[in-house]
A and B are shown apart, each in its own frame.
Chain A
Amino acid sequence: MTSPIEAEDATASVALDDETPAKSKAVETDAPVGRSPGQLMWMRFKRDRTGMITAVVVLFYFVIAALAPVISSLYGKDPYTLYAQEPDYPFLLDDFAMPSGSFGGISGEFWFGVEPNLGRDVFTMLLYGMRTSLYMALILTVFSVLTGVIIGMVGGYFGGKVDYWLGRTTDFFLSFPSQLFFIAFMPVVTALFVSPTDETPTYMRAVAILLVMWFLGWMGMARLVRSSVLSLREREFVEAAKVSGASRWRIVRKEILPNIVTPILVQGTYTLPSSILSIAFLSFVGVGFVEPTPDWGRMFAIGAEIYEQDPAFMFFPGIAMVVFVLCFNLLGDSVRDAFDPKTGR
């Protein structure tokens, strides 16, 4: 009887057999080399083809976002100019304010086409939109991860009453309907900084978005770190450190932190794309960034509005986002596998 599962097991053991001679050979030829966990992780990661490819793609996104001004100056356009009103481009939009060229007005001049109604350049809009989203998501992820790690560590390490109340607070914030909360609190937080009669500057909007999302972004990490710390706290090496008179700070820094880096990094990898999606969500429903700040999420709002007339507009922002999220998720899986080879996919 050969079930598919057994067949899978068989291939796994073959792969193991392949590896063992290679390892023993290495031991024979040169003296055993001590490798740090980080080096081991890197070695495993390098062998994972999906991981390497997705890492390159993700890096590519960040490089493009960082170089957006350079790229757009080479390309000769910016995301703000209404090119339809420029005398250089007389027939960019037709009588219905739709791009007159085929497939959203793609041409040598406008690589990804032209935006209907306003006639802006889609390529630079996307470039700068991605830049906004990626920067915001990066800051947000760093903030949330740090907050989560600190709260989780304090709760897990000190235990007792501190842990109880931190845990309750975490649970409380987890029970918020987070997206409705973002929608509801965006104007409130903005009002904290800007008087209602004034125009809200873009950076204030960015700060408001970050604050609102940071507020409800740390709980998952806090829970994860708390549970990891809780199990580490009772381990022998921590007790040994305690007995030998290490300070609490030292134990946290030198004994516990290095052991929870893995779950933190893996969770962080998954947090970033979801932050991007949350920010895009806000802009999509209309409470995030507003015109004329180029934003990835708002491109979908524009696209949905004019989809019937000009479906091509949505194509590039959409594909770019799908590829980004897909690669980041795959990368997260690869990072996890590289750090912790026990958890097979």
Chain B
Amino acid sequence: MNRTDGPGPGGFDAATVAKDFPLLGREVNGRPIVYLDSAASSQKPTAVLDAMREYDETTHANVHRGVYAIAEEATRRFEEARIEVGRFIGARVPDREVVFTKNATEAINLVAHAWGRTHLRAGDAVVLTEMEHHANIVPWQMLAAERGIELRWLPVDEQGRLVLDDLDRLLDGARLLGVTVMSNVLGTLNPVSRLAAAAHAAGAVVVADACQSVPHLPTDVTALGADFVAFSAHKMLGPTGIGVLWGRDELLAELPPFLGGGEMILDVRKEGFTPNDIPWRFEAGTPPITEAVGLGAAVGYLRHLGMEAVRHHDLHLTRYALAALDERFGTDLTVFGPPEAAARGGVISFALGDLHPHDISQILDEYGVCVRAGHHCAKPLMRRLGVTATARASFAPYSDESDVDALVEALAAAVRFFA
């Protein structure tokens, strides 16, 4: 394989980047770890770990409450992280449009609860794609069961692309479209701005699941055209425990609260309460403050790498991996999703002969290679693909060709083992 066409102009060297991630220095089963499960959860650079530790050691107090020095500093750090995240995704009004949640799942549930319960009535339709993660399916199914809402499905073709032939008919009478920007199984990059334009023309709002796209691609929520965008910190080099809901200012401003409690109120009397302004209206209780600081640092780290460079690296590595897998296994290996790298992000799901993904993953573990085996929380898509599970390798800025080479060697060992 050609290894010299590495990082492009303004790019970075993944092996150097990997040195910033302490966990990648460990061994598994006596071999250096080969971490290829970043789509499930990415590793954290020292910059993130240090920021969280420094905050906890010097600044921690509850936010938006105390009038003493460290409480004000903590509030400032928390709100700065919000602005940092907002700018990173091109939010027009970052201080109002970025809501911190527990994770992306909670972000979508927030929309289903606050927007869905005030805007959807019996007979209304919600359109979802067949490649959605359960997080963008089940909240709508719960609401559908409760409210008598019709769920419609935008189909996926043999190459893992959305079939748009029937889009206008599906959107007719729809109030909401839920779509993933990048499939966590297929890697498919969906034409979200085109879908959003069609949805808006039909009078529907758009909820975009950006969990996989935000870590892999430059994100501009305005260009994306969605009304709500959800993603998680722990898939973008940040900590677990914090996710983000971005919503258009004017849409968020008219929504009722999601959870009730402290922080989300302006005033509480025995007779009732007055909700706070956005974004705090949706942040009941003490928020994940240390995690927000960590997310802010993760965004800073990604900004430093440059998201154009991250995309370039991802594309290069995906191309390299698709070629290496094909060269070694030929027709014994099936890659799900679009055949060309440019149509996908750095996620490769595959089947190898008749080996079960669990068995593949077990043998790979012996070689220190971490991949995901399972249904990837996308069972409707698994049924569409006609499989119960797939094995999945996924990349991050610290992944490089040597990781792919190790994967290929370990897969060859799995084939030999079960032969």
A binds B: no
Identify the B interface with A (CB < 8 A). Answer: none
The interface of chain A, by Cβ under 8 A from chain B, is none
